[in-house]
Structure 1
Amino acid sequence: MRLQIGMVIGWMAAGLVGAAAQTTLRIYTGNQPRPEVMREIVDLYMQRNPAVKIDIDTGGTTPEQQIQSLNAALALKEPVVDLLLVDVVRAAQLAQAQWVEPLDGHLGAEKEAVLARYLPALRAAGTVNGKLVALPYAADAQILYYRKDLLDKYGFSPPRTWDELKSAAQKVIEGEKNTALRGLGMAGAPVESTVCTYLVPLWGAGEELLKDGKPNLGGPAARKPFELWADFKAAKLIAANSADVATDRVRQDFQAGNLVFALGWSYFQGRFDGDAESAVKGRVGLEAVPGFSLGTQGGCLGGWQVAVSAASRNKGEAVKFARFLASPEVAKKQALQAGTLPVIEGILADAEVLAAQPWFGPAQNALRTARARPVTPRYPEVSDILRTNTSAVLAGTKTIDAALADMNTRLGAIFK
């Protein structure tokens, strides 16, 4: 707590000093990859706008410290921060607390034209109760990674359904006779990615977590995610200890050459091709996450958004900078220099971008089919309900019926 208070006091002091000379904007960036690219973006904006000075704060050295310090700063409702980069799942929480500024009035007649350039799922993630509270800054999506060399060797195309994936994985493992090789890696520990371990097969079965604002887990589709993973576990395609597997462990196992398929995020690709010790460099294919039938592919949407603090004393300048961060120019710069999936669909097909990041081509389907997790101010509770129950079923400490009963009861208390 002392650390958080110190950071907040530092933010306030710096803001007061800077105010005398020029407009000073403070942006909270959190745990952003490639911070040097953000530094270049900020410097470029200041060069073009010499009356504006921009300070960058990460909020701490660990993700936990960063979230705590940001929450402490925003809770003061004082002008200690002007803009913030936030995970796509946090917009509703910040909006309910009235910590972020609705942008509709600031964009005015330009709003629809501005939003039209973004992927629909990204637009939805920044809209809460009909109000735009954040603009897309960096995109991410769950991707099905696969060993292209092995699928080619055994004559398989990238799977579009779970049955196709199972069939391909079994044939490859049978043919390779490698006891270290498993069929599929996915998160099963009680971490955020495990929310998607439940949601994605639910969506792939043609159902939604919520319908008309109420929990929708009473039908047979609600069991499908648990039954899918039980089937894969019985077939020895996923790890026996899958309830202990966190997100980056999936990346490590695939990168070591021990998985045929892996469900992961876009940062995996940079490690697969960039790490010196990678055993799969040049052997990786990408596809949208499978569904139970054709046309139901798609994983979870990820990424970052830029919001303006409701307490900022420089909202006009903050909105201008937010629009720059969410612009095609910045999206292309990030794609070229940081390998970040662009929030603007047209840049996915840009020739210069594809030359620099050829994996964007096959990643397009994964990004276009990605779906937002529930947009709710109580998302942290929803996340906890889904990931802990999913992990418990994978561990065998909870039955499917017990997990669904708990999920329905607790979600029902949230969405009354």
Structure 2
Amino acid sequence: MKKWFTIFAIILLGILVYALSSFDTFSGSTQKEKAEKPKSSKRTELTFWRNSGNTAENKAFEELVSVFEKANPDISVNMKSIPYSDYEIRLRTELAAGNPPDILTIDSPTLALYANTGSLLSIDPFMRKEGQIDDIPASTLRGLSYKGQIYLAPIVESSIALYYNRHLFKDAGIPYPSEDPKNPLTWDEVLEIAKKVNNPAKDVVGIDPAQGFNDGESPAYFKTPLLWQFGANILSPDGTTASGYLDSKEALDALQFYQDLYHKNAVAAFELPPAAFESGKLAMTVLGSWTLADLEKNHPEFKLGEDFGVTPLPKDKYQFVPNGGWALGITSKSKHPQEAWKFIKYVTSYEGMKKYVTITGDVPARYSVAKDFPELNKYPKNIFLQQTQKYSRNRPVTPAYPVVSDAIRKLFEDVGIGGKDVKTSAKEAVEKINAGLKEIQ
């Protein structure tokens, strides 16, 4: 009996040793597999809102997101494209509800509205350390800053110029204007040309000086430069009042000149037929840098150098053009500001910007990128590029900008369409803007 007990004990001990050995082997194998397996890390999910652009802009952003995600497998960017007409309302609604995206695009003139409410994160430390800001025009950076802090990073810039119909100029015996970005016509010279080419009998209009009378931001973008060119400003340097600025003698002179184009000289029309410029019914018009691509795509029969030409935006005492555009920022409630900056840094870097401009044909916001596109340094695109880099100004950076923009729109409508007294109209605009500034303060 004792013998069987000893044998049983030996067998039991063997089973136990084998079991322990097997467990150790299995455990060791599992640990080894775990060590060899890459650590499973949760991907950072970034939400990115932007206004819907044209086909080329949409394609450019899609490619930038794709390239970034491949280079950063630990980050995914969920991009939402929202129609322009709905974008601001939806964005402000989500900001007010405390559920904004991590990254967003903002039209630079409205920057201060968001920064002043604390909705935007200052990216000043990021930009100064890694944003290569010496490669960006100072005027562009000023338009992306509020109270000395940079809040947005740019991709592209914008500019406007005077387009003219070569056939109408030739028929009237008018020499083609300069193609030199530093040598624009004066507004007085433009007026004299407009008088010669204006032909009511043939329904030919001399000039559309600032994109007619539209809604939205277009009136402020196209019409504010006329005030600057005559030596006027909209607001005081500290941004606290419009009194003495928008109603200054220089401002009144600019407004009177604009009004006279429609009324006294009758070389501008309140309404134009569709495609007036392309069909030879409009001799001169102020259009954007983006119009070149639009004309090439939609009116290929209307050719640059044969049917139309481009010359710098006219000047008065000073040569100024508007700048600004949609730029990228980070919302203050983002839980992933470092990752959000990493995405913005790539998109607005030399590499990202070059890819974007290659697809869209827009004017880049970096000197280094512009140098790499030969067409940007030749007529006619060199006009837009050099104007942007040397002669551009920002619309007022103020939390009350929506009020300013609307006041400018109504002011030019009153003196243009309405033919109202320019001094009275300017006074009303000043009162409206000052009320908006006071409300903000």
Same fold (TM over 0.5): yes
Query: For each residue in 1:65-105, what CA deviation from the matched residue of structure 2 results, as whole angstroms up to 9, or x when unmatched?
Result: 22221112222223x41111111112111101211110123
Counterparts in 2 of 1:259 and 1:366: CA distance versus 1, 3 Å: farther
Counterparts in 2 of 1:360 and 1:328: CA distance versus 1, 3 Å: farther
Tell me what 1:38 maps to: 61
1:260 aligns with 2:290: no
Structure 2: distance between partners of 1:229 and 1:406: 18
1:328 aligns with 2:357: no
1:285 aligns with 2:309: yes
Query: For each residue in 1:133-153, what CA deviation from the matched residue of structure 2 results, as whole angstroms up to 9, or x when unmatched?
Result: 101122112222223455466
CA contact (8 A) 1:188 1:394 kept: no
Counterparts in 2 of 1:107 and 1:277: CA distance versus 1, 3 Å: closer
1:86 aligns with 2:106: yes
One-letter amino acid of the structure 2 residue matched with residue 95 of structure 1:
A
Pick the structure with greater CA Rg.
Answer: 2
Q: 2:435 aligns with which of 406, 409, 413?
A: 413
1:167 aligns with 2:192: yes
Structure 2: distance between partners of 1:71 and 1:411: 22
Counterparts in 2 of 1:167 and 1:71: CA distance versus 1, 3 Å: same
CA contact (8 A) 2:375 2:382 kept: no
Q: 2:90 aligns with which of 63, 69, 76?
A: 69
Tell me what 2:9 maps to: none
Structure 2: distance between partners of 1:347 and 1:360: 14
CA contact (8 A) 1:285 1:362 kept: no
Structure 1: distance between partners of 2:119 and 2:279: 43
TM-score, normalised via structure 1 length: 0.83
Counterparts in 2 of 1:83 and 1:391: CA distance versus 1, 3 Å: same
1:143 aligns with 2:155: no
Give the secondary structure class of the aligned counterpart of 1:253. coil
Superposition CA RMSD, Å: 2.6
Counterparts in 2 of 1:277 and 1:81: CA distance versus 1, 3 Å: same
CA contact (8 A) 1:118 1:345 kept: yes
Instruction: After TM superposition, list the pairs within 5 Å mapping 1:171-320 onto structure 2.
Output: 171-173=196-198, 179-185=202-208, 186-191=210-215, 192-213=217-238, 214-215=241-242, 216-233=245-262, 234-239=264-269, 241=270, 252-276=275-299, 279-282=302-305, 283-293=307-317, 296-320=318-342
Give the secondary structure class of the aligned counterpart of 1:237. coil
CA contact (8 A) 1:160 1:297 kept: no
Give the secondary structure class of the aligned counterpart of 2:51. coil
Query: For each residue in 1:271-300, what CA deviation from the matched residue of structure 2 results, as whole angstroms up to 9, or x when unmatched?
Result: 21221465355533333321213xx12222
Give the secondary structure class of the aligned counterpart of 1:324. helix
Query: What's the offset of the Cα at 1:120?
Result: 1.9
CA contact (8 A) 1:156 1:168 kept: no
Query: What's the offset of the Cα at 1:42?
Result: 0.9
Query: What's the offset of the Cα at 1:414?
Result: 3.5
Structure 1: distance between partners of 2:140 and 2:93: 27
One-letter amino acid of the structure 2 residue matched with residue 124 of structure 1:
R
CA contact (8 A) 1:77 1:99 kept: no
Instruction: After TM superposition, list the pairs within 5 Å mapping 1:121-136 onto structure 2.
Output: 121-136=139-154
Counterparts in 2 of 1:280 and 1:109: CA distance versus 1, 3 Å: closer
Structure 1: distance between partners of 2:93 and 2:388: 33
Counterparts in 2 of 1:366 and 1:149: CA distance versus 1, 3 Å: farther
Instruction: After TM superposition, list the pairs within 5 Å mapping 1:332-347 onto structure 2.
Output: 332-347=354-369
Query: What's the offset of the Cα at 1:400?
Result: 1.3
Query: What's the offset of the Cα at 1:45?
Result: 1.0
One-letter amino acid of the structure 2 residue matched with residue 285 of structure 1:
G
Tell me what 2:44 maps to: 23
Tell me what 1:8 maps to: none
Structure 2: distance between partners of 1:341 and 1:256: 27
Counterparts in 2 of 1:318 and 1:229: CA distance versus 1, 3 Å: same
Tell me what 2:75 maps to: 52
Query: What's the offset of the Cα at 1:358?
Result: 6.1
Structure 2: distance between partners of 1:180 and 1:325: 47
Structure 2: distance between partners of 1:41 and 1:77: 28
Structure 2: distance between partners of 1:211 and 1:220: 15
Counterparts in 2 of 1:36 and 1:196: CA distance versus 1, 3 Å: closer
Query: What's the offset of the Cα at 1:322?
Result: 0.8
CA contact (8 A) 1:27 1:55 kept: yes
One-letter amino acid of the structure 2 residue matched with residue 55 of structure 1:
N
1:367 aligns with 2:388: yes
Counterparts in 2 of 1:362 and 1:106: CA distance versus 1, 3 Å: closer
Structure 2: distance between partners of 1:27 and 1:20: 22
- Residues 22-31 or 159-168, more deviating: 159-168
Query: For each residue in 1:142-171, what CA deviation from the matched residue of structure 2 results, as whole angstroms up to 9, or x when unmatched?
Result: 222223455466323244210121222333
1:98 aligns with 2:118: yes
Percent pairwise identity: 22
CA contact (8 A) 2:122 2:151 kept: yes
Structure 1 alignment gaps of length 5 or more: 1-18
CA contact (8 A) 1:89 1:125 kept: yes
TM-score, normalised via structure 2 length: 0.79
Structure 2: distance between partners of 1:313 and 1:36: 28
Query: For each residue in 1:293-335, what CA deviation from the matched residue of structure 2 results, as whole angstroms up to 9, or x when unmatched?
Result: 3xx1222213111001111111001011111111122222222
Structure 1: distance between partners of 2:139 and 2:311: 18
Name segments (4+ residues, structure 1) moved above 6 Å.
Answer: none
Give the secondary structure class of the aligned counterpart of 1:135. coil
